[in-house]
Amino acid sequence: MNDAREVVVLRYGHRPGRDDRMTTHVGLTARALGADRVIFPDNAGQSAETVRDITGRFGGPFAVELREDQKAIVREFEGVVVHLTMYGERVQDVEGAVREAVGLDEPDVLGEASPPRDLLVVVGGEKVPWALYERADFNVGVTNQPHSEVAGLAVFLDRLFDGAELDREWADADRRVVPEATGKTVVDAGTENDSAGDDSAGDDSPGNDRASERRD
């Protein structure tokens, strides 16, 4: 989403069968809310396929990788590492410091903004090693209460980008959802008239819960 920096989401750990849906939604949330790339464990091929399919149909750019060397990715990352964990510092207390660390802050003096740096956001699946807590520049908690890691990622990215990610433009999309008060309209991306909806897309659209379950 940002030309001068890359925001990467790393799904740390994946249990095939048990975590398929959650891992997929980590990738879809990363894509929808401003990240540039997601890295899945190499045993999460089904999730990677789903996210690539959504990106191909609804636009990007967004990259999906399968990697087995997750510890090395974190250890060798040249940038800022944020680990999302229930036990971390409150997001509302550290969001300013994170934004400053990656150069997304708004300085009081023009021209004194922090230089852009890449950001790795680690979303744990199974139990993560203590070394990750020590390596992270920020261990960040969203409410410090038990809940979905997908919800934590969504809140963090929205705080990071200060809502700007909600207005991004999607390139090379085949399909586009038409925002409306009621109904579920999906049109070809090149369609200029928003009212020219394709009702046949209704049950297959990503906004349909049953369709989402089939994909996951």
Long-range pairs, 188-194, Cβ under 8 A, ≥24:
189/59
Tell me: do 23 and 125 sit in the same domain. Answer: yes
Tell me: do 115 and 194 sit in the same domain. Answer: no
Tell me: do 184 and 162 sit in the same domain. Answer: no
Q: How far apart are CA 5 and CA 41, in angstroms?
A: 23
54 part of a folded domain: yes
Tell me: do 197 and 146 sit in the same domain. Answer: no
Tell me: do 73 and 180 sit in the same domain. Answer: no
Q: Distances from the Cα of 210 to the Cαs of 50, 132, 176, 203, in angstroms? A: 15, 36, 19, 8
CATH of the domain at 118: 3.40.1280.10
| Those residues with Cβ within 8 angstroms of residue 165's Cβ, 6 or more apart along the chain or in another chain | 1, 33, 34, 157, 158
Task: Give the three-state DSSP class for 168.
Answer: coil
27 part of a folded domain: yes
- Per residue of the chain (216 residues), what is the pLDDT tens digit? 655 689 999 999 999 999 999 999 999 999 999 999 999 999 999 999 999 999 999 999 999 999 999 999 999 999 999 999 999 999 999 999 999 999 998 766 566 667 899 999 999 987 889 999 999 999 999 999 999 999 999 999 999 999 999 999 999 999 999 999 999 999 998 776 544 444 433 444 444 443 333 344
46 part of a folded domain: yes
pTM metric for this prediction: 0.86
2 part of a folded domain: no
Cis peptide before 61 (omega within 30 of 0): yes
Q: How far apart are CA 164 and CA 119, in angstroms?
A: 17
Smallest CA-to-CA distance from 97 within 111, 80, 84 is with: 80
Smallest CA-to-CA distance from 47 within 71, 70, 61, 66 is with: 66
